[in-house]
Structure 1
C-alpha cells in the first residue's frame, strides 16, 4: 500500500522519544498494511491446515519480518544494540518498551533534581526562567509525573531573586490565582519596572482586570501612591 507517510517522517528512536517513535511506527505499519503481526497471533499450521490458513501463516510471517526490519531501521545504533531481539515484532516492541521504562525512571529522577535545584540565572530574562520550568514540568508530565499549574506558579515565583520580593508577597497574600500565561505576563511587566525604576513594590494584582492581552495589571506603589 502506498502512502505519503514514509520512514523519513519517523525520528530515529533515541534515549527520550519512545512514546512518539512507537506511535509513528504503528501508524506507518498500519498504512503499509504491515500491522497484522501486531493485531493477530501467529497462525499455527498442522496436517489439517487449509490453504487459507497456510496463506495467512505466510502473510503473518512476512509482516512480522518486515515490521522488525522497519523497527530496527528507525532505531539509533546504540539503542538497537541494547535491546534483545525476540522472534516476533510484538515481542520486540514490548522489549523496547520495558527498556525505556527503566530509562524513564532515571530521566524522571534527573528532571526532578534539575527542577527542584533550579535557581534564577541573572544572565537570562524572567520569561526564560519561567519557560525553563514549564519545559521541565511538561517533560515530566509526558513521563506520567504531572504537576498542577498552581505548583508550577509557586515554584517559579519562589525561585525569583529578591528584587521580585514585593511581587511574590502580593501574590501569596491574595486569594486569586494566576495561570501560567498570567504568571509570565505579570512577571515580565514587573521585570521591566525593576529595570526602569529599581526595586518596586507592587500592589495586589487584580486578576479580573487582566484581560489576557499580553499586559498585566501590576502597578508600583510608588506610581499609585498605595502601599502593600
Structure 2
C-alpha cells in the first residue's frame, strides 16, 4: 500500500514514529522512575502527533470512522483491515463483472 509507506516515511523523517515502533509503556504513577516517565511522555507525544498527521491525510469522508482510535498502532491496523476489505470487495466485483 503506497499510501501507508508514504505516511510511515513522513513520520520517520519528522522523527515522530516512536509510538509506531514501540508498544505503549505503562501509565505514569507516583512511583514511576524518571526514565519511565520520559519513555511514556516520548511515546505519548509521538502517538498524538502521528495520529493527527495520519488523520489529516485520510479523506474527510471516512475520517470520522477512525476518530474512535487513540493508539496509532491500532489505527494503522484498522486502516490496513479497511483497505483489505475494500480490495477484497473490489476484486469480487471484478470477478462478478467478468462472468
Normalised to the residue count of structure 2, the TM-score between the two structures is 0.86
CA-CA distance at 1:51 after TM superposition: 1.2
Q: Which runs of no fewer than 5 residues in structure 2 stay unpaired?
A: none
Map Cα deviations across residues 54-89 of structure 1 (whole Å, 9 max, x no partner). 111111100100000000100111121333531101
Q: How many residues align?
A: 98
- Establish whether residue 21 from structure 1 lines up as the match of residue 3 from structure 2: yes
Map Cα deviations across residues 19-65 of structure 1 (whole Å, 9 max, x no partner). 11111111111111111101111121333322122111111100100
Structure 1 distance, partners of 2:61, 2:2, is: 18
Q: CA RMSD in A?
A: 1.7
Partner of 1:42: 24
Q: Which runs of no fewer than 5 residues in structure 1 stay unpaired?
A: 1-18, 118-228
Query: Which has more radius of gyration?
Result: 1
- The answer to whether the 8 Å contact 2:51/2:70 transfers is no
Q: Equivalences for 1:1-228 in 2 at 5 Å?
A: 19-44=1-26, 45-114=28-97, 116=98
- The answer to whether the 8 Å contact 1:83/1:99 transfers is no
Map Cα deviations across residues 77-125 of structure 1 (whole Å, 9 max, x no partner). 11213335311011111111112221111111122344x35xxxxxxxx
Map Cα deviations across residues 129-156 of structure 1 (whole Å, 9 max, x no partner). xxxxxxxxxxxxxxxxxxxxxxxxxxxx
Whose helix fraction is larger, Structure 1's or Structure 2's? Answer: 2
Normalised to the residue count of structure 1, the TM-score between the two structures is 0.40
Higher relative contact order, chain-length normalized (CA < 8 Å, sep 6+):
2
